[in-house]
Chains A and B, each alone.
Chain A
Amino acid sequence: MKTAVLMSVGLLALSGCASQMVSIRTVPDQTPAADNAAALANAAAFAEAVATESAEVESVAAETASGSPPEVHGGPEAAPLLTPEDAPPMYTYDPWERFNRFAYRFNARFDEAIFLPVANTYRRVPSPVRAGVHNFFANIAEIDSVINYTLQWRLKYGLRSLERLVINSTIGIGGLIDAATKLKLPGTPTGFATTLAKWGMHPGPYLVIPLLGPSTLRDGVGFLADYGAEYGINIAGLYRGNVSWALGPVNTIDQRANIDFRYYSGGSPFEYETIRFLYVRRRLIEDVGLRANERPKKPAVEVPAGK
């Protein structure tokens, strides 16, 4: 079994490298009618969310304008709103750029040759089965979330993750069904990278991890720690047992199939810059949310974002 799987992956890799003049391949069907129906169904909820957010922002802005001490909702110690001057520079801290760029190219090629064809094939599996696989892995990750929410001292969310874990492992038949979300307990995974952020660590140098993709030093360390924790706990013998070799690939295929991203689909020579910019800004904004009680410190000298 193991040999057969590894060999077919190898063959797929080779076929991906073949350089014929024309290649024609089937990609997943588009479902325009269903997409539009979904957009229609979401429109009302979306408009409501927009109205709510607008009202919140306006009320905070009004407080600021009225001269009363500006603060966000959520506590007496809340910090004032960010101003455009608080935004990090457009440059990103990337001292390992040379390595990163080669890693990015490697990832793009690997994705095109292996991940994407495999994920496209996997998408032909009936969707209830795929959902089960996805929920199963999400449920295992919940353990890590419980640990990390606790380390972050956000016990409210830690408790929610714990409830989710218990409900989904029992009612949800070992995690195959996400029963907790139906019971109004939506899942929001966290990890050691976020714990490090909560403890005050900056993202640090931008890092493109081979096979995994965009990250930072902090997020990379977080990833290793999360994996280490799961390996150490070895839930249901999945990480150290007879089927462990299959765990990583199945998990990876599930993750890849759930992401609608394709390297260089925009054809841009500046895709590396764009992804780096967006990835680091997103993490920095999440950090702002984590440290809602303190105003971001303005460094004496303008340093690249992430440092």
Chain B
Amino acid sequence: MQISRRLRQIAFAMVWSAPFAISAEPIEPPPQSQPAPGPATGLSDSAGLRATVFGTPPEAMAPLPAKVPLYEINITLPWRLPVPEILWFDAKLRVWLSAQDRPAPLAIVISGTGSDGNNKTISILRAALYGAGYHVLTMPSPTFSGFIVSASSTGVAGDLMQDGHDLYAAMQEIIAHLPPKVRITDIDLLGFSLGGANAAIVKSIDASEGKLKVHRVVMINPPVSLFSSVGRLDRLFASTIGPGEMGVDLLYRRLYAQLANLYRVSDRLELDEKFILTAAAVTLKTDAEFSQAIALAYRLQLVDMFFIGDLYAKTGVVIDPEHRPKVGDSLEDIQRDLRAKPFADYFTRVFAPYYLQRRPEASSASLIAANRLDIIADALRSDGDYYAQTNSNDLILNRRELDWLQDTLGPRIVVYDHGGHLGEIGDRQQVADMLDMLAGRWPRSAP
């Protein structure tokens, strides 16, 4: 019985991090080469911040199927780089498949920044797509630790084109190894947050290589400029939590005291999941607190990508390339160091040095410019198979970026007036529109 208790404690420990485990903060490219000025929360408002944290409320959820079967696929990719000893657990790419019993189109869903292929957000999309008759394959973001180690050909994530090529190759490898009973009639791509941009890039690569014959793409809350969206999240962190480790320490102390006091007055005997979720709802009240939760969630994902990038690129920011950490070594100080570093540091100290060395013709400015969705602007404008859904209060976009998306996609984008970033996923309207877009029934008003 004690074994159970111990394991339950781990589970509850994990739940404690639930308020922070928001699925996906994006890394994105902006239309101008300098970080956009303006508010750190982009277009977001109070309602948008709350929707970003809590997601679609259960009463607004689209009808979902009773049962969704699931296969877990672990695959070793032939182009994988040597796996560092301390990342042994990320050696295989892990994706999930829900297969229909009959021939059906395959919908591939790509997760948002730093997220794996089986989180809460992606599960809602999987259920909606499976219920509509698709085979559904869900994949991690190319910025997810498990993807970088198992599937990246560089180890340095965040470059739209490079990540797109790695994703494209991984998709081919996975599809080639699916059991023969999975009969695929067509392939569509979806992605949310950064995954939306990834999906569009993969389709544009496929348009010239033709190996998958990707049909339609739906981008959900995509970034326009990787670096301006990321800059926005960094500013959100700096303005609500404070720069560096000091801010994180203060936030931690405040949360600890709040949770301990709440626990004590509640006269409970166990710090269980229900209590923690209640406590999170009690603790999160102001816009600043919601902003902190969002900024911290994003930063914690960045920390992993930064660490792995520094390890692979041997840039020596936090890891001495001559003395790489081993399994028994403490990583806590490295983690603290990285938590204090914004994305700008990843760009100038890992990303740019790595790519500039390999692309002699490039410059920092050109690397930034290459990480904007407008590198495929012509395709987005002229190819009728690209679609998008976003929100007028998405915190990763500013006015200019939203205008650019609307101008470029014309009738093939729908903008909701709620949901913040990803907080509309699963609601009736979003699901209905997404399915119509995928099926080519969009725009509906057309004769």
Contacts and interface: CB of A to CB of B under 8 A. Distances in A.
A275 B13 contact: yes
A35 to B, nearest CB: 8
A213 B7 contact: yes
A85 to B, nearest CB: 7
Contacts of A108: 89
B11 A212 contact: no
A26 B99 CA distance: 11
Contacts of B72: 24-27
B59 interface: yes
User: Which 3 residue pairs spanning A and B have beta carbons closest together?
Assistant: A255-B4, A141-B1, A267-B145
**Main SS of the interface on chain A?**
helix
A188 B263 CA distance: 15
Nearest to A89: B249
Given A57-B258, A82-B264, 6 more contacts: A22-B75, A33-B64, A40-B59, A53-B262, A72-B265, A94-B330
Contacts of A37: 58
Interface size band for B: 35 or more
Given A46-B277, A57-B262, A259-B8, A84 B16 contact: no
A108 to B, nearest CB: 6
A34 interface: yes
| Chain B interface helix/strand/loop/mixed | helix
Nearest to B86: A269
Interface in A80-122: 81-88, 90-91, 94, 97-98, 101-102, 105, 108
B268 A270 contact: no
A74 to B, nearest CB: 7
A2 B337 CA distance: 52
Contacts of A252: 3
Nearest to A219: B6
A68 interface: no
Interface string B234-254: 000000000000001110111
Given A30-B70, A274-B17, A188 B269 contact: yes
Interface stretch (A5-13, A164-172, A176-184, A277-285): A277-285
B3 A46 contact: no
A77 interface: no
Contacts of B9: 214, 279, 282-283
B70 A267 contact: no
Nearest to A35: B64
B58 to A, nearest CB: 4
Contact of B13 (A34, A86, A279): A279
B14 A278 contact: yes
B335 A33 contact: no
Contact of B331 (A28, A212, A213, A270): A270
A1 B329 CA distance: 44
Interface string A10-52: 0000000001011111111111111011011001001001100
Interface in B183-210: none
Nearest to B270: A188
Contacts of A196: none
Contact of B252 (A25, A90, A230): A90
24 contacts: A21-B76, A22-B75, A24-B71, A24-B177, A28-B70, A30-B70, A36-B61, A40-B58, A53-B279, A74-B267, A82-B257, A85-B253, A87-B260, A94-B330, A141-B1, A227-B2, A255-B8, A261-B14, A264-B89, A268-B145, A279-B13, A282-B13, A288-B264, A289-B260
B2 A223 contact: yes
Contacts of A254: 4
B88 interface: yes
B398 to A, nearest CB: 30
Contacts of A74: 265, 267
Contact of B16 (A49, A263, A282): A282
B377 interface: no
A289 B278 contact: no
Contacts of B38: none
A33 to B, nearest CB: 5
